Amino acid sequence: MTGKPLLEVENLKVRFHLRTGTVEAVRGLSFTLGRERLGIVGESGSGKSQTGRAILGLTPPPGEVRADRLVFDGTDLLTAPRRTLRALRGGRMTMVMQDPKFSLNPVMTIGEQIVEAYRAHRKAGRAEARDKAFAMLEAVKMRNPARVFSLYPHEVSGGMGQRAMIAMMLVTDPDLLIADEPTSALDVTVQMEVLRILDELVGARGMGLIFISHDLKLVSSFCDRVLVMYAGRVVEEMSAGALARARHPYTQGLMRCLPTLAADVRPLPTLLRDPTWAG
């Protein structure tokens, strides 16, 4: 992780002003990301997904994003003009969401969607975009790229859909990929396959990856560094290998409350939430 960081986030806050009051989804989050794999782990409501969305400027309407600093590779995302942001989003920073069923356009073939994605950000002819799309489908290990190219999203399995999604998101050669629970909707064996492809592509292209998940075990086995979020804040930051030595009681509790094949502890230790963690 040499040189200046790819992404700098300082004191990020995401608030939702609702009728019933203001909900603070993210409350002062800071981190820097190099060309590495960063995992963000938390339970539902911890603000992990809103963090990813805020970086991409995809916070849904009643939400308000504030930060002391939100810089992507020298561009200030808070002050940059819309045009610049649009070019960055989908071009140099992209996102893979949980369920390909909902994030792929159901009335366009997978190939057309990849071509569209490419041509939206690169000045390229149809033929060039097509070649690029084929190459991408090969890169995500589709056995028969030509066939997958002309299939509609409902005609492929969940694992293939998610690989198509990754192909679409990586076709513009982005520098940053935010993956929000990219494999949670998939079967375990398929999940490993998709992760392996993601791992290879991210490694080979030297991209930065933010991997958002509820699965502490999965994140720590996949990423270089892990942020553990609780109630909108980071309660622990550690290198992935150091999971067993986690210091924060929340991280420890999260680890222990999972049943494992290795040890038969019963009853399972439950997590007693300490109000001071939310700080």
Partner 1 sequence: MISSQTTMKGSMLQIADLDVVFGTGRMRVDAVKGVSFAVAPGESFGLVGESGSGKSTILRAVCGLAPVAAGRIAVDGAAVTNPRSQTFYRTVQMVFQDPYGSLHPRHTVDQILAEPLAIHGLGNTEERIVATLKDVGLGPSFRFRYPHQLSGGQRQRVAIARALILEPKILLLDEPTSALDASVQAEVLNLLDRLRRERGLTYVLVSHDLAVVAYLCERLLVMRHGETVEETTAAALRAGTVASDYARTLIAASRGFSRGEPVAQPAGIAAQ
**CB 227 to partner 1: min, Å:** 17
Judged by CB under 8 A, the residue of 61, 74, 125, 267 near partner 1 is 267
**CB 265 to partner 1: min, Å:** 9
> Applying CB under 8 A, what is the total number of residues that bind partner 1?
42
Note whether 266 binds partner 1 by CB under 8 A.
yes
**CB 195 to partner 1: min, Å:** 5
**CB 144 to partner 1: min, Å:** 6
Contact of 215 with 30, CB cutoff 8 Å = no
Say how far apart CA 12 and CA 248 lie, in whole Å. 22
Judged by CB under 8 A, the residue of 76, 187, 237, 274 near partner 1 is 187
Note whether 271 binds partner 1 by CB under 8 A.
yes
Largest CA distance in the chain: 62
Note whether 270 binds partner 1 by CB under 8 A.
yes
**Taking contact as CB under 8 A, which single stretch among the options 9-17, 71-79, 83-91, 137-145 is the one that binds partner 1?**
137-145
Note whether 148 binds partner 1 by CB under 8 A.
yes
Residue 63 structure tokens = 């939400």
The nearer residue to partner 1, 46 or 59, going by C-beta atoms, is 46
Note whether 158 binds partner 1 by CB under 8 A.
yes
List contacts with partner 1 (CB under 8 A): 43-44, 142-144, 147-148, 158-160, 187-193, 195-196, 199, 214, 216-218, 220-222, 253-254, 257-262, 264, 266-271
